[in-house]
Amino acid sequence: MWELFTHSSNLFFSVSLCLMLLLGIVECLLLIIGSTSQGFLDQFIPDQLLETHPPDVELNADHGVFVQFLDWLYLGRVPVLVWLIIFLTTYALFGFIVQAIFYNFTQTYFPLWIIAPACFILCMPIVRICAAIIAKIIPQDETTAIHSDELIGRTALVILGEAKQHYPAQAKVIDQFGQTHYILVEPESDEKFQQGQNVILTQRTKNGFQATNFN
């Protein structure tokens, strides 16, 4: 058994297991002194993943394939540190199990350059399942943060500039919690929005929202 952990072909899995234990120890020490690594880790996560959205709803295509993939892995829906521990544990155990089974039949291990990337890819569905389970167990903090799509259908007030198609102007909109959001709006048809005009948000764009005239 010890050879399984120390063999050079299993180096990545041993390192992953050690990192997982190290993260757990560091976090425990930070909790003792009244701190946490969560805020530090969040800065490495795309902002779209930190926006509040229903747990069973995937991000739309506007967010890019890479961000959608991270969201599919539930990264951002569970604390980043917890997700890292899930990934490192799953990757290490999956690799050790595959190597142990292969060794049982062949008395040798898969080469490192084959097994390391292969397990990285194959363990992702397991990581997603584990993260999804944890996301339902961990209590979510009550928050008034909303996903930007929830602003669609609300009335916005143009406060700066004149809006034309492909030339947005600044507007403000109040969400269901009474919070004010400053956004960019442009007409969805060939019309203009003047400063002080109320418009209804109809859909997201790359930089803001499209809107229609408020009747």
CATH code, 208: 2.40.50.140
Same domain, 110 and 161: no
Same domain, 113 and 93: yes
- pLDDT tens by residue, 87-113: 999 999 999 999 999 999 999 999 999
- Predicted local distance difference test score (pLDDT) of residue 207: 80
Same domain, 187 and 108: no
**Listed residues 77, 105, 137: the one ending a domain:** 137
C-alpha 92, offset from chain centre: 22
Same domain, 8 and 53: yes
- Predicted local distance difference test score (pLDDT) of residue 108: 93
- Predicted local distance difference test score (pLDDT) of residue 143: 47
Same domain, 101 and 178: no
Same domain, 164 and 120: no
Domain membership flag for residue 122: yes
**CB-hemisphere CA count at 13 Å for 192?**
4
pLDDT below 70 — which residues of the chain?
31, 34-64, 139-147, 215
Is residue 146 within 8 A of residue 181, CB to CB? The reply is: no
- pLDDT tens by residue, 49-70: 555 444 444 544 445 677 788 8
Distance CA 34, CA 48 (A): 28
What is the residue range of 66's domain?
2-137
Domain membership flag for residue 56: yes
- Predicted local distance difference test score (pLDDT) of residue 35: 55
Same domain, 113 and 156: no
Is residue 207 within 8 A of residue 183, CB to CB? The reply is: no
Query: Per DSSP, what are the bridge partners of residue 201?
Result: 211
Cα dihedral 104, 110, 116, 117 sign: negative
- Predicted local distance difference test score (pLDDT) of residue 144: 47
Same domain, 187 and 93: no
- Predicted local distance difference test score (pLDDT) of residue 48: 56
65: buried, middle or exposed (CB in 10 Å: 19+, 13-18, 0-12)?
exposed
Distance CA 31, CA 23 (A): 12
- In total, how many domains does the chain have? 2
131: buried, middle or exposed (CB in 10 Å: 19+, 13-18, 0-12)?
buried
Report strand pairing: 198-204 vs 169-174. unpaired
Domain membership flag for residue 156: yes
Domain membership flag for residue 142: no
- 53, 58, 63, 64 alpha-carbon torsion, rounded to 10°: 160
